[in-house]
């Protein structure tokens, strides 16, 4: 018993998750299901802060199901809806790219042409409000698992084989765990602790793209765009910018995001939102087609400008240290052009849940194997997840470049510009058709191999 051997490791795997965002909570539900002891430390006061929307691919929802059957139930109970508006005759979801720039042959405006349409399948995307999904997730976690108002400051590793990590929080309290999983987002503190303050990947870098987002009442949007365009997802592409919109709130509102290339430096990296103006957006879309300009005319005079930061320039060289690892945006924050950043984090959560389940099985009746089992699991996690998740970061940048290529403004190079859709299709399918079962097999194989050697 532990009384006779005070230094004997305990039987359970104790995991601290830093950050109760989508990935932190999805992972928590999975790790609890497979028998780990979990605590989540979230700096915020609660989950009611961000009302923004988020959509998940059908593939990510299947991953959620494998993590724990309760997660897709929570997603749907939080009011998620398939994004399709095709009605009964066409229930699939599509991405559509449309020619947004007004090139002229002689004096005639060319009008807008649908450039490409990609079928994401039946219920290919399901959208929800972030805060509602987070609240629904918290409800399926036992009450004392999530601790709010806990901002992580440091982690100390004594280095002994059976020694726990010690986490210290801004409020002066501490906690212990066998491993820490940093799910603390793009500005991750855990990443800085893992890599060191001076490492270039300790801070995200500016993508030189900004986003202006607004909601427009559907009736007004219909006047600008026409009913079909307003009630179906469209991405207007053109030189130096693109305008994405889709209906939300049961078709009563249009969510519009203008992405604009910015050659300047971002003024203050600690503050990634700034006040923007409609005039800035109008300037970026000067010379675009009437529908786009009329929609932008409906933007409010002042609106938030989001600087988009990612880990493309300096990717994280490894997702784990001795007892620390990273998941979600903390590991691979991406720009939003694939709309799949959280989906890739859900894949991380499935991989970690699979590996921790193997660790728990391995340790049954022999707690002394804990350290070696956790080492094998974290090393395998890094090997399985790093390349794909970093590819998504790169691909998102590439897709932004293609959306905003100069050639869209040049009649003679329009055919050249359009060749990008073959590439965009391949990239999207690689995300949407992820072989998660093969990933789980690879993780278990890698774990077993490392445990044997």
* Residues with catalytic roles: 213, 246
**Which member of 9, 20, 72, 321 binds ligand FAD (CB under 6 A)?**
20
Give the residue among 378, 324, 274, 394 at the shortest CA–CA distance from 159.
324
**Which member of 329, 347, 357, 362 binds ligand FAD (CB under 6 A)?**
329
Q: What are phi and psi of 71, to 5 degrees?
A: -70, -50
Q: Does residue 343 belong to the site contacting ligand FAD (CB under 6 A)?
A: yes
Q: Does residue 152 belong to the site contacting ligand FAD (CB under 6 A)?
A: yes
| Site size for ligand FAD (CB under 6 A) | 32
Q: Does residue 324 belong to the site contacting ligand FAD (CB under 6 A)?
A: no
Would you give the binding string for ligand FAD spanning residues 83-122, x where CB under 6 A is met?
Answer: ----------------------------------------
Q: Does residue 243 belong to the site contacting ligand FAD (CB under 6 A)?
A: no
Residue listed under structure tokens 């991989």: 351
Is residue 229 exposed (0-12), middle (13-18) or buried (19+ Cβ within 10 Å)? buried
Q: Compute the distance between CA of residue 281 and CA of residue 289 in angstroms, rounded to an integer.
A: 14
**Which member of 70, 124, 185, 247 binds ligand FAD (CB under 6 A)?**
185
- Between 44 and 249, name the residue whose CB sits nearer to ligand FAD: 44
**Which member of 224, 260, 295, 340 binds ligand FAD (CB under 6 A)?**
340
Q: Does residue 29 belong to the site contacting ligand FAD (CB under 6 A)?
A: no
Q: Does residue 182 belong to the site contacting ligand FAD (CB under 6 A)?
A: no
Q: Compute the distance between CA of residue 24 and CA of residue 326 in angstroms, rounded to an integer.
A: 10
Q: Left, alpha or beta for 235 (phi > 0: left; psi -120 to 50: alpha)?
A: beta
**Which member of 72, 124, 276, 328 binds ligand FAD (CB under 6 A)?**
328
Residue listed under structure tokens 């999904």: 133
Q: Does residue 204 belong to the site contacting ligand FAD (CB under 6 A)?
A: no
Taking residue 105's Cβ as centre, other Cβ atoms within 10 Å add up to: 8
Q: Does residue 434 belong to the site contacting ligand FAD (CB under 6 A)?
A: no
Q: Compute the distance between CA of residue 223 and CA of residue 244 in angstroms, rounded to an integer.
A: 17
- Between 191 and 236, name the residue whose CB sits nearer to ligand FAD: 191
Q: At what angle do helices 70-77 and 22-33 cross, to 10 degrees?
A: 140
Give the residue among 442, 449, 403 at the shortest CA–CA distance from 424.
403
- Taking CB atoms within 8 Å and a gap of at least 24, the contacts of 409-414 are 409/101, 409/103, 409/238, 409/239, 409/287, 410/103, 411/103, 411/105, 414/103
**Which member of 99, 345, 354, 382 binds ligand FAD (CB under 6 A)?**
345
- Window contacting ligand FAD (CB under 6 A); options: 83-91, 135-143, 149-157, 403-411: 149-157
- Between 387 and 453, name the residue whose CB sits nearer to ligand FAD: 387
Interacting residues with ligand FAD (CB under 6 A): 18-24, 41-44, 54-56, 150-152, 183-185, 189, 211, 328-330, 336, 339-343, 345
């Amino acid at each position: 018993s532990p009384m006779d051997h005070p230094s004997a490791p305990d039987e359970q795997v104790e995991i601290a998750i830093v950050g109760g965002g989508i990935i932190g909570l999805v992972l928590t539900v999975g790790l609890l299901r497979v028998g780990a002891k979990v605590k989540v430390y979230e700096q915020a006061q609660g989950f009611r802060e961000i009302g923004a929307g988020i959509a998940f691919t059908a593939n990510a929802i299947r991953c959620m199901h494998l993590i724990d059957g309760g997660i897709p139930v929570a997603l749907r109970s939080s009011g998620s809806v398939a994004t399709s508006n095709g009605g009964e005759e066409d229930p699939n979801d599509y991405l559509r790219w449309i020619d947004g720039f007004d090139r002229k042959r002689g004096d005639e405006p060319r009008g807008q042409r649908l450039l490409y349409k990609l079928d994401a399948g039946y219920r290919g995307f399901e959208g929800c409000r972030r805060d509602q999904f987070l609240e629904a997730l918290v409800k399926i976690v036992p009450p004392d698992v999530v601790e709010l108002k806990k901002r992580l400051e440091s982690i100390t590793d004594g280095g002994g084989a059976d020694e726990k990590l010690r986490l210290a929080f801004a409020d002066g309290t501490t906690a212990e765990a066998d491993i820490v999983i940093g799910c603390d987002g793009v500005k991750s503190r855990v990443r800085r602790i893992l890599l060191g303050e001076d490492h270039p990947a300790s801070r995200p870098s500016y993508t030189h793209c900004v986003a202006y987002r607004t909601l427009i009442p559907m009736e007004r949007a219909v006047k600008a765009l026409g009913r079909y365009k307003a009630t179906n997802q469209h991405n207007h592409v053109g030189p130096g910018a693109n305008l994405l919109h889709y209906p939300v709130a049961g078709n009563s509102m249009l969510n519009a995001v203008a992405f604009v290339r910015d050659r300047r430096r971002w003024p203050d990296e600690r503050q990634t939102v700034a006040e923007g103006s409609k005039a800035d957006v109008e300037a970026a879309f000067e010379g675009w087609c009437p529908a786009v300009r009329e929609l932008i005319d409906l933007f409010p005079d002042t609106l938030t400008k989001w600087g988009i930061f990612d880990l493309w320039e300096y990717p994280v060289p490894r997702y784990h240290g001795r007892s620390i690892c990273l998941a979600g945006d903390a590991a691979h924050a991406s720009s939003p052009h694939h709309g799949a950043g959280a989906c890739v984090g859900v894949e991380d959560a499935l991989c970690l849940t699979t590996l921790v389940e193997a660790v728990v099985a391995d340790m049954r009746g022999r707690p002394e194997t804990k350290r070696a089992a956790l080492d094998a699991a974290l090393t395998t996690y890094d090997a399985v997840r790093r390349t794909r998740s970093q590819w998504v970061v790169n691909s998102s940048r590439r897709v932004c470049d293609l959306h905003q290529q100069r050639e869209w403004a040049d009649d003679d190079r329009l055919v050249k510009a359009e060749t990008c859709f073959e590439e965009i299709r391949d990239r999207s399918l690689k995300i949407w058709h992820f072989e998660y079962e093969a990933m789980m097999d690879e993780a278990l194989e890698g774990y077993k191999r490392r445990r044997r050697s």
